[in-house]
Every structure is written in structure tokens, then in C-alpha cells.
């Protein structure tokens, strides 16, 4: 009989020597690399000295109980996955184990076939946690200016943007950043400024869409005392505030034609006047402008000056929509989970939920993704974000085309399919009882039923023709 395609390093700690030895031998036969100890202190020393994927520990042991050992194990390896074995099953025991960070707990005595699906899921969680840790390191290396401002991704579209930023940042060239709303245009401005010779001078931002024309002119160029009603004192403009540094002019297409002419003059020869003044001032400022509108169309419609367009369009950084760089979504999700953690430590994300985020079209781009991740953290009941925590618009955007029938009988999908089918059978088709027995919400159970086609009269086949047998 072929050995199942399982892998993972397991540490088994149980003061019942015979049980511990037998369990380790059985797990090795299943393909795991299992090491066992009957003394919790020795097991803890092994955790600190070596690397294990899963800790399978008895609850009641002399000296150190399983929950204490679990906590000490997490201190040695935060990505460790812990499972508690106990012969004293109760709600209180389960709650204590989960509060300590246990992935699951199993009741003794048990059959090996009962614990194998739990171990399969645990080793997969371990793999995801290690991958998350690796991705965080990657994210930390993809920074501009400071750890607060990240441009994250490895897609070809984003690599092209990053390459252009690296080439243009050291110069004083005017840059026009174009892209849909929410794609990170201000991050590009910060990256350009932070990698330029002006990095020690101010980076000043103004959004043209938020101010009326008269206020915007005063904000940009300043005004003298008495220049207009309410101007009881002189005020420097943002060109003065940004002296020696960079001025980021966001939503530049919202400027009136008259104000566009004044901006053009600053870009051409560096001269401007405060509102209400006859004195010429000179600005030493690099301008980075941004827009989400097609300036060619605005120009043809007479809303944007042709000469200003050509002057701004010296270097154009075109940011892709998030739907055009879907492979970057996992990196962005990990970044938001790490930097925008809600209610304590960063959460993990279920692979099925992550797949839904990757499939979604993101009309609001990165800004929308950040908001969805924040919402999911608030709604998540445990330490892992699931499909239930995502908006229906995201979940239903691109459902799988038809039932998923696992072809490999030893795959995790096949095990889950057989288990769900068996629980439904025992519950007589009652989905409320089945969901309760599985420990999932009804919405999650409905998705499992849809995923594996379990509403069909005949059970799905697994592995090319034979009906799925119960677990």
C-alpha cells in the first residue's frame, strides 16, 4: 500500500509513554516526521532547539499541562500550530485551549483516521503562516522613504512603475501621475520625493478638488493682508512652504483655466505672485501632479490647457488598476493585516477567502481592498478571516464554475468532501444540525455543499469514478 502524500514535522508530548510511542509510529507510517516525548520539559527543550510544524500535546500532564506547554511553544515559535489531546472533553476545556491559541483539540481515546484530517489542516495552516512571515519580509524590503510608505507588489505592471520611479526620482523633472482613484498616486509622489536630493525638505500636498478657485489660488500662492475680505494678515502659500522640496498637486484637472495659467508660469520660469501683491517671487520646488481623468479628453473639451498638459507631461507614471495586477492582491492583503491590525495581533486569512479577494474586480482599487480587509478583521470571530467575513459583493463576484470534485482521494479537498457528506447523511440532510456538528456557520456549509455538489441525489465521485466513501 502506497504511503499517503503527507508531510510535516510533528512533536507529540504525552506522559502516557505507550500511547505516545504508538501514536508517533502510526504518524510516521502516514508520512509525517513525528518525534515524541513523555516529559513536557524535554518536549519544550526540543521545541526551542529544533523546528516543528505542529505540537500535539496531552492536556493533563505532571509539572506542565498542555496549555502551558502550548503558550511556551508559541513563545519559541510564533508560527507553531498547536493541538490539544484530552480525555476530559468539555466546553470549558475547549474554550481554554482556544484562548491559549490552540488550532484544535481532540478527545481521547481516538482513532488515527479521526485525527489525520485535523493534522492535515494544521500542517496547511503552518505552511500558510510561514508563507505569511516570508511575505512580510518581502513587503518590508519593498519600501520607499520610510516603513510608513510602501509600494507593494511584484507584478510586471507594478515592476514597470517601480523601475520608472527609480530612474526619475533623483532628477528634478516634473512628473504627472495618472491612474484610477485609489491606486496610490500619493504614494508615488512620496516615493519620488523620498528618493530625491530634496528628501530633507518638505513634501507638501494639495488636493484641487477640495477647494474653490479663489481659496485654491490663495492656498497655492499665498496672499497679502487685505487682498480679500477676511484676509486680516499675510499668509505664505504652499509654494513657499515647500521651498526646496516637492509640491504634490492632486486632482490637477479640477483647476480652473485661469489658475492653470498661473501654475504653468511657475513651471516655466519659477515665478509667481501672492494674491494681492505686485512683488515677484521665485519658487525652487519640484512639482508632481496627479489626475484620474483622461487629460487628452479634458483638453479637447476646453477644460484643460494644452500648454499646461505638455508641460506637466514631461514624465508620466501610469498606475495600473488593481484588477490588472491581481497577483499583487495577496501581498497587499498581508501588508494591510500587518500594518492595520484591528484589535490586537495581525490575523491570518483563509485560502478560500484570499482566492475570493484575488478574483474580485476592485472598482475602488487598493483603497477599497484596504477597507474590505479592515472590515473583515472587525467581523472575524476567530484569528482567521473566512469567506463569512467578506462582503457579499466580493464573495459572489466570481463563484467557481460548478461543483469541485476532488480527483486525488488523499487531497484535503477530498477529505473535506467526504467528511461533509457523512455529517449531512448523519443529520438526515438537516443543514442546521450539520453546520452545528461541523462547527461552521450555515453560510459556510452552504458554500461547501455548492462547492462539492452535495445537493445531488448521488454522492460526488472522488479520484475518477468511485463514490466518495464516508470518512
**CATH number, position 237:** 3.40.50.300
Statement to judge: residues 171 and 313 lie in one domain: yes
User: Is residue 434 in some structural domain?
Assistant: no
160 plus 300 within the same structural domain: yes
| Cα Rg, the chain, nearest whole Å | 30
Judgement on whether residues 348 and 259 belong to the same structural domain of the protein: no
Exposure b/e, 258-279, CB count within 10 A at least 16 = b: ebbebbbebbeeeebbbbebee
Of 52, 203, 48, the C-alpha closest to 119 is 52
How far apart are the C-alpha atoms of 120 and 377, rounded to whole Å?
A: 25
Residues 224, 307: one domain? yes
Q: Is residue 19 part of a domain?
A: yes
Would residue 435 count as lying in a domain?
A: no
Q: What is the pLDDT of residues 337-368, one digit of tens each?
A: 988 888 766 688 988 899 899 999 999 999 99
Determine the structural domain holding residue 273 and report its residue range.
Answer: 156-318
* 161, 194, 312, 316, 434 from 173: Cα distances, Å: 16, 14, 9, 10, 64
pLDDT at 189: 94
Q: Are residues 43 and 101 in the same domain?
A: yes
Residue 419 resides in a domain: no
CATH no. for residue 113?
Answer: 3.40.50.2300
Same domain, 133 and 30: yes
Please give the pLDDT value at position 466. Answer: 41
- Spans in the chain with pLDDT lower than 50: 1-4, 139-149, 401, 456-471
Measured in degrees and rounded to the nearest 5, phi and psi for residue 208 equal -70, -20
H helices present in 195-281, as ranges:
213-221, 238-241, 257-269
pLDDT of residue 300: 92
373: helix, strand or coil: helix
Q: What phi, psi does 322 have (nearest 5°)? A: -65, -30
Same domain, residue pair 277 and 313: yes
User: Residue 69 and residue 82: Cα distance in Å, rounded?
Assistant: 10
Q: Round to whole Å and give the CA distance between 251 and 128.
A: 40
> What's the CA angle centered on 46, arms 43 and 51, to 5 degrees?
125
Same domain (yes/no): 195, 170: yes
Q: Does the residue 64 lie in any domain?
A: yes
CA distance 461 to 68: 44
What pLDDT does 408 receive?
61
**The pLDDT of residue 181:** 93
Whole-Å CA distances, 113 to 5, 339, 419: 15, 40, 11
pLDDT at 5: 62
**How many structural domains are present in the chain?**
3
Domain assignment present for residue 431? The answer is no
Residue that finishes a domain, picked among 318, 346, 377:
318
The confidence score (pLDDT) of residue 449 equals 82
Q: Are residues 35 and 119 in the same domain?
A: yes
Name 45's Cβ contacts closer than 8 Å, sequence gap at least 6.
none
Single out the residue in 318, 348, 373 at which a domain terminates: 318
Classify residue 186 by burial, with Cβ atoms within 10 Å: 0-12, 13-18, 19+.
Answer: middle
C-alpha cell at 29: 507510517
Half-sphere exposure of 374 (CA within 13 A, CB side): 8
Indicate whether 390 and 329 sit together in one domain: yes
What was the pLDDT predicted at 395?
87
DSSP codes, 283-343: ---EEEEEESS-HHHHHHTTSS-HHHHHHHTTEEEEPPPGGGGGGGHHHHHHHHHHHS-SS
pTM: 0.56
426 occurs within a structural domain: no
DSSP letter for each residue of 93-120: HHHHHHHTT-SEEEESS--HHHHHHHHH
Q: How long a stretch of residues is the chain?
A: 471
Give the CATH number, domain containing residue 329: 1.10.8.60
Q: Is residue 193 located within the same domain as residue 275?
A: yes
- Can you say whether the dihedral through the CA atoms of 34, 35, 37, 42 is positive or negative? negative
The answer to the question of residue 300 being in a domain is: yes
Q: Which one of 340, 374, 395 terminates a domain?
A: 395
Cβ-proximal residues to 170 (8 Å cutoff; 6+ apart), any chain:
195, 196, 197
Cell 500594518 locates to 339
**Do residues 264 and 165 both lie within one domain?**
yes
Q: To 10 degrees, what angle do helices 91-99 and 66-76 make?
A: 20
Amino acid at each position: 500500500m502506497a504511503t499517503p502524500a503527507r508531510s510535516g514535522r510533528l512533536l507529540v508530548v504525552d506522559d502516557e509513554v505507550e500511547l505516545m510511542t504508538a501514536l508517533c509510529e502510526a504518524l510516521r507510517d502516514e508520512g509525517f516526521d513525528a518525534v515524541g516525548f513523555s516529559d513536557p520539559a524535554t518536549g519544550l527543550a526540543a521545541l526551542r532547539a529544533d523546528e516543528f510544524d505542529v505540537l500535539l500535546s496531552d492536556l493533563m500532564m505532571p509539572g506542565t499541562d498542555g496549555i502551558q506547554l502550548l503558550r511556551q511553544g508559541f513563545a519559541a515559535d510564533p508560527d507553531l500550530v498547536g493541538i490539544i489531546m484530552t480525555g476530559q472533553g468539555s466546553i470549558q476545556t475547549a474554550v481554554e485551549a482556544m484562548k491559549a491559541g490552540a488550532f484544535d483539540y481532540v478527545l481521547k481515546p481516538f482513532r488515527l483516521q479521526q485525527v489525520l484530517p485535523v493534522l492535515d489542516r494544521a500542517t496547511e495552516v503552518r505552511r500558510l503562516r510561514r508563507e505569511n512571515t516570508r511575505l512580510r519580509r518581502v513587503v518590508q524590503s519593498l519600501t520607499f522613504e520610510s516603513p510608513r510608505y510602501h509600494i507593494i507588489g511584484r507584478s510586471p505592471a507594478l515592476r514597470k512603475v517601480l523601475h520608472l520611479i527609480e530612474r526619475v526620482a533623483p532628477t528634478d523633472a516634473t512628473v504627472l501621475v495618472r491612474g484610477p482613484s485609489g491606486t496610490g498616486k500619493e504614494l508615488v509622489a512620496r516615493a519620488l520625493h523620498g528618493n530625491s536630493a530634496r528628501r530633507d525638505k518638505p513634501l507638501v500636498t494639495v488636493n484641487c478638488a477640495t477647494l474653490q478657485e479663489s481659496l485654491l489660488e490663495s492656498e497655492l500662492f499665498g496672499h497679502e493682508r487685505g487682498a480679500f475680505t477676511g484676509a486680516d494678515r499675510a499668509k505664505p502659500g504652499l509654494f513657499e512652504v515647500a521651498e526646496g522640496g516637492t509640491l504634490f498637486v492632486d486632482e490637477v484637472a479640477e483647476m480652473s483655466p485661469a489658475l492653470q495659467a498661473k501654475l504653468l508660469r511657475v513651471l516655466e520660469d519659477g515665478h509667481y505672485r501672492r494674491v494681492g501683491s505686485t512683488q515677484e517671487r521665485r519658487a525652487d520646488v519640484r512639482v508632481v501632479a496627479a489626475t484620474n481623468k483622461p487629460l487628452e479628453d479634458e483638453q479637447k473639451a476646453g477644460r484643460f490647457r494644452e500648454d499646461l498638459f505638455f508641460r506637466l507631461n514631461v514624465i508620466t507614471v501610469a498606475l495600473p488598476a488593481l484588477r490588472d495586477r491581481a497577483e499583487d492582491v495577496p501581498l497587499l492583503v498581508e501588508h494591510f493585516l500587518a500594518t492595520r491590525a484591528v484589535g490586537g495581533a495581525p490575523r491570518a486569512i483563509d485560502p478560500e477567502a484570499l482566492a475570493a479577494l484575488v478574483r474580485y474586480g476592485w472598482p475602488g482599487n487598493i483603497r477599497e481592498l484596504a477597507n474590505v480587509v479592515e472590515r473583515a478583521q472587525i467581523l472575524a470571530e476567530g484569528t482567521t478571516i473566512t469567506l463569512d467575513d467578506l462582503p457579499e459583493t466580493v464573495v459572489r463576484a466570481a463563484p467557481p464554475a460548478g461543483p469541485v470534485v476532488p480527483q486525488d482521494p488523499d487531497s484535503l479537498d477530498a477529505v473535506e468532501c467526504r467528511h461533509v457528506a457523512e455529517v449531512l447523511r448523519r443529520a438526515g440532510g438537516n443543514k442546521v444540525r450539520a453546520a452545528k456538528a461541523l462547527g461552521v456557520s450555515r453560510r459556510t456549509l452552504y458554500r461547501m455543499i455548492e462547492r462539492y455538489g452535495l445537493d445531488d441525489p448521488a454522492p460526488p465521485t472522488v479520484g475518477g469514478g468511485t463514490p466518495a466513501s464516508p470518512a
